[in-house]
Amino acid sequence: MTPPRTPASPSPILPQPIPYQGSKRRQVQVLLQYFPKDTQTLWEPFVGSGATTVGAAFSGAARRFVLSDSLAPLAGIWAMILNHPEDLVAGYTKLWQAQQADPRATYDGIRAEFNKNQDPVRLLYLLARCVKNSPRFNHEGHFNQSPDNRRLGVRPKILHMRVAAVHQLLKEKGAAFVGDYSLALARAGTGDLVYLDPPYMGVSGSRDGRYHQGLDYDRFVSELQGANHRNLSYMVSFDGRCGDRSYGPGLPDCLQLQKIELHLGRSSQATLSGRVEETVESLYLSPALRRRIDLSSSGLNSHVSHSVLRSPSDTSR
């Protein structure tokens, strides 16, 4: 029986080329502890800002990396980071400089253009400039988040350094595609690891404006069942709680996952409202992953607690 993993070491400062509120950057060190030593390819099919892929590449925790997202222009940003980083930075720089005279009008214009042409460069600019780096979509799927009028978004020089660093980490080892998470599950093999971080369930009713589409729970469970039958190693970030509020349902026992609770420290939002509340997120490990990393198999859904070191710049999602 393997004891719970040792506490995470402090996070190295990982470059984050895509400013994105749901980033898993502050959990990466913990997630890495559940990677099998012989991981061939890491698949990250809800990639967002790709914090886990970047952390894994930085640590040499897998040989290859496949990043995907069903939001086409977001997957497009990743394709540019991998294949045309200079074009991405040049395009961003042009938009960033164009806003100097009238930032608000420029933002509105770029947002309107993005909603017509779904251009990855424009999405990167909008993510960098919008409130809390947190995208919002209306019922028609249009990006409708407002700009943060106190700042102009990451400076092109800094963005250049981040993009170049991530390009360097992933070039020749990484690939990106647009698509549903089920495609990655179908393509992954038994020597791989799939990390799934889907949109939270039940945060704001059936539709969550933070993402261009919500998650179909029954289909997700059925996809994971299929992955179990194929002995896939995967881990899922899913539900969570803050104080006495729970976010989303958990994953069902029939999947035979091991649930680990990640203690993320005090919620900054609660602190702002004068309350002291801890944020806890659940991480689920698949049966094949548990066998591969020789975790304790005593008790399904047994709870292992894990604390995550918090850095001051982190935002919880």
Which residue, 31, 167, 34, 145, is CA-closest to 89?
A: 167
| 95/194 with CB nearer ligand SAM | 194
Minimum CB–partner distance for residue 100 and ligand SAM (Å)? 29
Virtual CA dihedral for 14, 209, 266, 268, nearest 10 degrees?
A: 90
Query: Of the two residues 46 and 143, which places its CB atom closer to ligand SAM in the complex?
Result: 46
User: Least Å distance between CB 212 and ligand SAM?
Assistant: 6
Given the DSSP bridges, would you call strands 64-69 and 304-307 parallel, antiparallel or unpaired?
Answer: unpaired
Least separation in angstroms between residue 134's CB and ligand SAM is: 11
- Is the CB of 106 or the CB of 169 nearer to ligand SAM? 169
Closer to ligand SAM by CB, 69 or 281: give it.
69
Q: In the complex, what is the shortest distance from the CB of residue 182 to ligand SAM, in angstroms, rounded to a whole number?
A: 7
User: What are the E-state strand segments in 50-185?
Assistant: 64-69, 174-178
* Cβ 237 to ligand SAM shortest distance, Å: 7
Nearer to ligand SAM, 99 or 212 (CB): 212
Residue nearest to ligand SAM (CB): 48
The nearest distance, CB 249 to ligand SAM, in angstroms, is 16
Closest to ligand SAM by CB, 212 or 292: 212
Exposure string of 168-204, with b = 16+ CB inside 10 Å and e = fewer, is ebbeeebebbbeebbbbbebbeeebbbbbbbbbbeee
Exposure class string for 209-239: b at 16+ Cβ within 10 A, else e: bbbbebbeeeebeebbeebbeeebbbbbbbb
Residues 6+ apart with CB under 8 A from 78: 47, 50, 67, 69, 176
Q: Which residues bind ligand SAM (CB under 6 A)?
A: 20, 22-24, 45-46, 48-49, 51, 69-71, 74, 180-181, 197-199, 211-213
Give the separation between CA 148 and CA 136, rounded to whole angstroms.
13
Give the closest residue to 188 by CA, choosing from 228, 222, 216: 228
Q: How far is the CB of 211 from ligand SAM (least distance, A)?
A: 5
**Amino acid, single-letter form, for residue 169:** L
Other C-beta atoms closer than 10 Å to the C-beta of 268 total: 13
Do the bridges between strand 234-242 and strand 245-247 make them parallel or antiparallel, or are there none, so unpaired?
antiparallel
**Residue closer to ligand SAM (CB basis): 25 or 99:** 25
Helix, strand and coil content of the chain, in percent to the nearest 5, comes to 40, 20, 45
- Closer CB to ligand SAM, residue 109 or residue 199? 199
Smallest distance, Å, CB 181 to ligand SAM? 4
